[in-house]
Amino acid sequence: MTRVILFNKPFGVLSQFTDKGTEGSPRPTLSGFVDVPGVYPAGRLDRDSEGLLVLTDNGRLQARIAAPKFKQPKTYLVQVEGIPDDRQLADLRAGVVLKDGKTLPATCEQIDPPGLWQRDPPVRFRKTVPDSWLSLTIREGRNRQVRRMTAHVGLPCLRLVRWSVGDWTLEGLAPGTWRDA
C-alpha cells in the first residue's frame, strides 16, 4: 500500500534527508523530522521556503506530483514587499517571461494576512515599505519560480509558504510536524 506523508517544512530545513553540502556544521534536513524509512520528497522547497512537502514511498506517485508535465496545482501564500496594483496581478495571472521562458498562467489574488505561525528568524520589517500577501497557484515547478515571478512584476518576496499541492493542504499541521495523508 502506498504511503503518503504531509510534512510542514520549517524555514531553513533542506528538502532532503542528508546534507552533503558545506563543511562545518550540518544544515537541518528531513531526517531530523521524519523518521519513516523508504519515503522521499515529491518535489522540493527551497531552504528559505516553508510549508507543505509531500513525501511518498511510491516512485510513480512521486513523479506524478513533481513532474511539470502533470501540471499539479500548487498554492503558495506569499508575503511581498509593496502593495500590488491591478497590472501586477494581471501580469501574474497571464504568466510572466522569465530567463527560462514564459510561465504558465497563474491564479493570483491579494489576500488578508493569513493566520500563520511566527517564522524563525522573523521576516525583515521596514517602516517605510508596506508589505502585503498574495495567494498564488501555479501548475509548474521551476526553480524558485514564485520568487522570480513576484520579483519580475516588482513585488519582491519576503516569505513563501506552500499551502497546498493538489487536494492536500497544510491545514492543522504545525511547522516540523507531519501526518499520513
Catalytic residue annotation: 46
Strands 107-111, 74-81: pairing kind: unpaired
* Residue 40 amino acid letter: Y
Proportion of the chain in helix, strand, coil states, percent, rounded to 5: 15, 30, 55
Burial of 86 (0-12, 13-18, 19+ CB in 10 A): exposed
| Whole-angstrom distance, CA of residue 177 vs CA of residue 31 | 12
| DSSP states along 38-98 | T-EESS---TT-EEEEEEES-HHHHHHHH-GGG---EEEEEEEES---HHHHHHHHH--EE
Q: Whose CA is closest to 132, among 151, 105, 113, 108? A: 113
| Whole-angstrom distance, CA of residue 175 vs CA of residue 167 | 19
